[in-house]
Structure 1
């Protein structure tokens, strides 16, 4: 969802290198919190999330000139973050025990449920995971998701419904154990 105070990425393109560098810095400051929260949701560790933020900032800076549509620069950066986090998780092959995370964050039942849901979301195929993350964690509308991913809104709805169905099935199977 776009905030009223967000910079307009389209104003940052087609400038000289110095102006582009300054513009990129402004975008990173503006999107810092959202990128950090995305990294933390996947990596579950402050240090790893900060490392991810730094690495993704570098990757985005290096490829900033390749952005085709400035309107979608925020989604483009979130996509880089999600890809980085997924690659990091696969590279490390580490399992994060939900119980230990729950203890760190308190024994609040809502948080435990939230952690379970996040674990299930992370286990979904990437095409479902991305839509669910954009819809429920970043509050994008279905039409914004369709525009940003450059896919028809019907595909977004189908993937969202299918992804939510898969989540429901995984959770019901887990409850039955």
Structure 2
């Protein structure tokens, strides 16, 4: 059974199909959540909330081909809601080595501390673009934002990130 058939069955209420779809995407959801909270327990809580929200609303999904985008959007919203609820400052310092360019642990910490200083929208857009390798159009769809706005957020976010990194170097 292909992916779209599974999604359509899940939309029609087949719990086993939904479980298979989540199984395919669980690692992706976890990585995204961990990037926001930098804590395994908190990331698992976000994954759990993401799966729950997706399960109770999968019947509302109108186009099966957008399941992965829809699920990612739910995950991003759950992570942001979680942060707001917990009122945490998040600094991402750990990522899976195979997924990203190899740098020393210290360099990663500096980068993610600078990323953590950005506003939520900039941080989300930059994470989706550079950590999840999403296209600008995909990000715009995920966030219900015009493509031109996403481009502006990326540009301003990268500028802020450079400033944050520059300030860090001056302090050392």
Name the CA shift for 1:76/1:15 in 2 (closer, same or farther; >3 Å): closer
Offset at 1:150? 4.3
Q: Which residue in 2 is equivalent to 1:31?
A: 25
* Residue 12 of structure 1, CA deviation: 1.6
Q: CA deviation at 1:123?
A: 3.0
Question: 132, 149, 153: which one pairs with 1:155?
Answer: 149
Between the aligned partners of 1:87 and 1:76, the Cα distance in structure 2 is 16
Structure 2 CA distance for aligned equivalents of residues 36 and 78 of structure 1: 11
- TM-score with structure 2 length normalisation? 0.76
TM-score (norm: length of structure 1):
0.74
Q: Which residue is 2:168 aligned to?
A: 174
Which of 46, 56, 59 is residue 53 of structure 2 equivalent to? 59
- Asked if the contact 1:39–1:82 (Cα under 8 Å) also holds between the matched residues in 2, the reply is yes
Report the equivalent of 1:83. 77
Secondary structure of 2:154's counterpart equals: helix
Residue among 42, 62, 69 paired with 1:48: 42
Q: How big is the alpha-carbon RMSD for the aligned residues of Structure 1 and Structure 2?
A: 3.1
Tell me the matched-pair count: 164
Q: Distance in 2 between matches of 1:138 and 1:79?
A: 12
What is the CA distance between 1:82 and its match in structure 2? 2.5
